[in-house]
């Protein structure tokens, strides 16, 4: 399920801002987290089954449970903060929260701005179309209307496909993309292979995946973002994640929300 800033120029502009911005923590962020007793975790809340709101208005999902388990293992509570994806890195850099556990792909552009713990799973890019559509390959979608989530790496990739003459529409999250495809307002959408398939299943929508050739559809690593220059927090979170993967806790969470091992 994997995401980015608005494009190469936006990534560069934000990267320059982020590097210049001071780290709000006077010491390693782990000290502040333990003193506060809370690990503030950001995610979108609109990325099922990784983060979503249930009937009780609670934010739940794979990423939420991973966050709560990591927080517990470093001796604190997890505070879940939902925020728009296209500004999520800015919120981390400026100190609104301590970490992003939100299905964020690890990219060289992001590594210039934040550090990553993990990876904690991997996924590939896929194009989804309605089951009864006439589209069979990526070439069939030339000149069509394609949906993407604002700020994801998939948006950046779709904008780079200039020879396809796509009309791009941006949305807040995966649920909107599924609904728009089902209602025929877009011809296809680009998303992570796992998240897209599960979102379609949960919404009882008949979608079909069009696999992308070569590097376009290659699996990428997904990590946990923290502010730079926080080796103690990174070590504590990585240790917690490693222990979860070794003792079966990770698989319990993955089976509950995904139904399989996605590492």
46 in a domain, yes or no? yes
Query: Does 193 share its domain with 129?
Result: yes
DSSP string, 127-172: EEEETTSS--SGGGGTTSEEEEETTSHHHHHHHH-GGG-PEEEEES
Q: How confident is the model at residue 200 (pLDDT cuts 50, 70, 90)?
A: confident
Query: Does 92 share its domain with 140?
Result: no
Number of domains in the chain: 2
DSSP element (H, E) containing 196 = helix 193-202
Mean pLDDT (whole number) for 249-256: 97
152 in a domain, yes or no? yes
Query: Does 112 share its domain with 39?
Result: yes
Domain that holds residue 135: 123-217
3 in a domain, yes or no? no
Who has greater pLDDT, 13 or 49?
49
pLDDT of residue 18: 41
Q: What count of other Cβ atoms lies within 10 Å of the Cβ of residue 4? A: 24
* pLDDT tens digits, one per residue of 165-187: 999 999 998 989 999 999 999 99
Instruction: Say if pTM beats, i.e. exceeds, 0.85.
Output: no
pLDDT of residue 13: 36
**In this structure, are residues 185 and 193 in contact, taking their beta carbons and an 8 Å threshold?**
no
pLDDT of 223 > 70? The answer is yes
**Dist CA 60 CA 263 (whole Å):** 20
Mean pLDDT (whole number) for 77-100: 97
Question: Considering the chain, what is the average pLDDT of its residues?
Answer: 89
Q: How confident is the model at residue 164 (pLDDT cuts 50, 70, 90)?
A: very high
Query: Does 130 share its domain with 179?
Result: yes
Say which CATH number the domain at 45 has. Answer: 3.40.190.10
Task: Please report which residue ranges of 5-122 form alpha helices under DSSP H.
Answer: 8-20, 29-36, 62-73, 88-93, 108-111
pLDDT of residue 126: 93
Query: Does 22 share its domain with 105?
Result: yes
40 in a domain, yes or no? yes
104 in a domain, yes or no? yes
């Amino acid at each position: 399920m994997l995401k980015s800033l608005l494009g190469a120029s936006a990534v560069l502009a934000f990267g320059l801002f982020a590097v210049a911005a001071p780290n709000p923590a006077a010491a390693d962020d782990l000290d502040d987290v333990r003193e506060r007793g809370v690990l503030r975790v950001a995610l979108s809340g609109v990325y099922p089954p990784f983060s979503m709101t249930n009937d009780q208005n609670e934010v739940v999902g794979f990423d939420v449970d991973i966050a709560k388990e990591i927080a517990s293992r470093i001796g604190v509570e997890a505070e879940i903060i939902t925020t728009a994806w296209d500004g999520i890195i800015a919120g981390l850099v400026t100190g609104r929260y301590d970490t992003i556990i939100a299905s964020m792909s690890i990219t060289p552009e992001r590594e210039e701005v934040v550090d990553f713990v993990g990876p904690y799973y991997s996924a590939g890019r896929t194009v989804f179309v309605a089951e009864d559509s006439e589209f069979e390959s990526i070439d069939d979608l030339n000149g069509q209307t394609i949906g993407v989530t604002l700020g994801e790496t998939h948006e950046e990739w779709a904008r780079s496909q200039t020879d396809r003459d796509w009309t791009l529409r941006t949305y807040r999250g995966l649920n909107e993309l599924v609904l728009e495809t089902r209602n025929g307002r877009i011809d296809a959408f680009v998303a992570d292979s796992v998240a897209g398939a599960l979102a379609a299943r949960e919404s009882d929508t008949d979608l079909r995946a069009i696999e992308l050739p070569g590097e376009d559809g290659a699996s990428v690593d997904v990590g946990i973002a923290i502010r730079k220059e926080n080796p103690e927090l990174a070590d504590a979170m990585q240790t917690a994640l490693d222990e979860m993967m070794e003792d079966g806790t990770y698989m319990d969470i993955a089976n509950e929300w995904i139904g399989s091992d996605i590492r």
